[in-house]
Chains A and B, each alone.
Chain A
Amino acid sequence: MIPRKNEIWSAYQKEIADDRYYFARSCIRQNIFPAAENLYINILRDVLGKNIYDDIKQTTCTGIAYHSGLIPMETIMTVVARQFALMNEAGYENFVVSCVTSFGIYVEMLETWKHFPETEQKTREALKRATGKTFRVPKNLVHASDVIYKFRGEIASKAKYKLVNTNTGEPLKVVDHIGCHYAKIFPSHGIGGAEYPYVLAGLIDEWGGQQVDYPERRHCCGFGFRQYLLKSNRSYSVTNSKKKFDSMLPFKPDLIIANCPGCTFFLDRWQYVIAEQKGITYGEDGYGIPVLTYEEIAGLLLGYDPWDIGLQTHQVTIEPLLEKLGIEYDPEQKYKGMDGENLGIPELPQVLKCF
């Protein structure tokens, strides 16, 4: 890494509330990594002693549809306004967003209301007519990874493990992938801005790992919204992910962490597709590079059981990482059901090595 590059981020800071959060769920995270959001809530409540509200009434922000060119701006703006109204009704002021696309959406709507005040007025009127609700904007709005970043020191002090290879004593080499909509749209809303985002790099530094500063570090994962949603267009997505993997390969990363649920999903699944289609694998000995969310890596270091936090739902096998971290696990429990029943095992890919 270029000398002092890792210090530039400190010029870009933002306020992150201390406590009392209203939690907005993610469409992709809750489906693809179904244990992750509960883990996040548990870390905040049980480890950090915070108050976080999980509202039964909230819905999607509709961001995936919006960025696919499907719905009008007035529609998403009013859905966002309803989410804020729900936060008000629950008695909260600090809005925490699980999804990076949604985070970008909420910030975009707040900024649009500032720059085009007539759009806020129209939204208020539309929400009132449609639902009878009124709203106040949040006092503080952050991405869920911002809160983990804020309390990274406290998490480190309570952690059982570090991002260190227990076999060699060397720090693990960790790739951080920041979702484009975290800071590329509104750089002042991201820790470290768009050029030097530190929200995940800060976790790597604090938890004992080593950042991987590879050429395509800031390149998009390739979601492309409508480009992924259509089977006919998916080469867009896999090609962009491959560009990143090829670029990081010479640095031999032990782990990728991401703050966007879509990015985590693509960086996990496209390794499987590239292995099966091209015969290329990016981890050691035919495995892939494990891809985890910020709450999953925090959970592992805090000592949560990997199978209780859903790490068996990743396509790229995580056991090589567990062994480096020195985390004991019971392979027998990996694919057991609710009552310990045997659910069989997933079919093994032809090329990508999996447990």
Chain B
Amino acid sequence: MIPMEKTIFERLEEDVRFREGLKSCMNCGVCTAICPAAEVSDYDPRMVVSLVQQKDEAELEKLLKSDTIWKCGECLSCKTRCPRGNTPCYIIQALRGLSIETGFFIESEQGRKQLAIKRTVGDHILKYGYCVYIDEVDLEMYPEQGPVWNWLRENRGSMLQRLNTSYNKDQAGTLRNTDKESLEDLKKIFDETGGTQRFEKIERYSSEKAKELNIEFKEGKDEYFRYLYNK
């Protein structure tokens, strides 16, 4: 792990989302009451905000290495409800960013899974210009898509033409090919603003963890990807 000259709290404060999200929490718990993640797991946004505002560095490091920060669904229902103007989700966003930057994300089961998201949505952005693309969404990866989707996918050459899309075409419209210049713009923006470096960090730290776990690590949907994505 890289040594940190600044404290974790100082680094969190550099993120505008953290400053916007943490005003002064009185621990009322309204955020937890409205939270869909708290509904389905032991996630408790009230506890996260309470812990963060105590500025205990050892506890903050534990938090960055924990599953806790990855359980939020970022619906932002908490922002609407907090009577003191805090946004627990913004705090989570800052914690997630720092967890990747420090490499602490690989210390938790949920944090490690960021590699699987990078190798799907992340790579799709730079390959297709969109986060999601029909060619990549098969029933093995997404069984809930169901038989109608499977039929559409198998017949997409004809059906997407019937539905007047621009699938596989170099013209405006639904599902068109994103032009080379736009894809290059995206890549240059990622290079310029830390997106590329973030992806590289996820790959690098993940390869170390895969080695430690003795799971094959190559690229794409390798054994480590399948381990993270499915289990």
Residue interface mask B100-120, A partner, CB < 8 A = 1:
100000000010011011101
Q: Which of A13-21, A158-166, A224-232 contacts B (4 or more CB under 8 A)?
A: A224-232
Given the known interface contacts A25-B174, A38-B174, A70-B117, the answer about A60 and B230 at a Cβ–Cβ threshold of 8 Å is no
Looking at A124-132, A149-157, A169-177, A247-255, the stretch in contact with chain B turns out to be A124-132
A60 B182 Cβ-Cβ under 8 A: no
For A293, the chain B residues whose CB sits under 8 A away are none
Q: Which residues of B contact A30 (CB under 8 A)?
A: 130, 165, 174-175
Nearest A residue to B87 by beta-carbon distance?
A185
Asked if B205 is an interface residue, CB under 8 A from chain A, the answer is no
Whether A313 lies near B148 (C-beta < 8 A) is: yes
B151 touches A346 (CB 8 A): yes
Q: Give 21 pairs: A residue, B residue, CB < 8 Å, sorted on A.
A: A25-B174, A27-B132, A31-B133, A35-B174, A38-B165, A38-B173, A56-B176, A57-B181, A59-B185, A60-B125, A71-B190, A72-B198, A73-B93, A78-B193, A112-B20, A126-B192, A184-B80, A313-B148, A341-B158, A343-B151, A343-B155
Interface residues of B toward A: which range?
A: 35 or more
| A240 CB–B CB distance under 8 Å | yes
Q: What band does the interface of chain A fall in when counting residues whose beta carbon is under 8 Å from B?
A: 35 or more
Q: Which of A248-268 contact B (CB under 8 A)?
A: none
Q: Is A143 an interface residue (CB 8 A)?
A: no
Among A59, A65, A78, A348, point to the contact of B182 (Cβ < 8 A). Answer: A59
Cα A69 to Cα B72 in complex, Å, equals 10
What is the total of A-B residue contacts with beta carbons within 8 Å? 266
B164 touches A35 (CB 8 A): yes
Q: How far is the CA of A347 from the CA of B151 in the complex (A)?
A: 8
Across-interface contacts of B39 in A (CB, < 8 A)? 239-240, 243
Q: B149 to nearest A CB, angstroms? A: 7
Whether B6 is near chain A, meaning CB under 8 Å from some CB there, is no
Whether B13 sits at the interface, judged by CB under 8 Å, is: no
Check A335 for interface membership: any CB of B closer than 8 A. Answer: yes
Q: Among A75, A194, A234, A335, which residue has its beta carbon within 8 angstroms of that of B194?
A: A75
Minimum distance in angstroms from A264 CB to a CB of chain B: 13
Q: Which of B78-112 contact A (CB under 8 A)?
A: 79-80, 93, 96-97, 100, 110
Q: Can you list the 3 inter-chain pairs with the closest CB atoms, starting with the nearest?
A: A224-B73, A337-B158, A69-B96
- A340→B175 CA distance, assembly (Å): 22
- Among A34, A74, A82, A347, contact of B147 (Cβ-Cβ < 8 Å): A347
Is A314 part of the contact surface with B, judged by Cβ < 8 Å?
yes
Partner of A69 from the list B36, B100, B145 (CB cut-off 8 Å) is B100
Per the bound structure, the CA–CA distance linking A243 and B38 in Å amounts to: 13
Asked, given contacts A184-B80, A236-B40, whether A127 binds B150 with beta carbons under 8 Å apart, the answer is no
Question: For the complex, what is the distance from the CA of A345 to the CA of B157, rounded to whole Å?
Answer: 16
Contacts of A73 in B (CB 8 A): 15-17, 93, 97
B229 vs chain A, min Cβ distance (A) = 6
B residues in contact with A35, CB < 8 Å: 163-165, 174
Contacts A70-B121, A346-B148 known; A130 to B131 CB distance under 8 Å?
A: no
Verify B162–A58 contact, CB threshold 8 A: no
Q: Does A119 contact B (CB under 8 A)?
A: yes
CB atoms of A130 and B188 under 8 A apart: yes
- B100, B146, B149, most chain A CB atoms within 10 A: B146
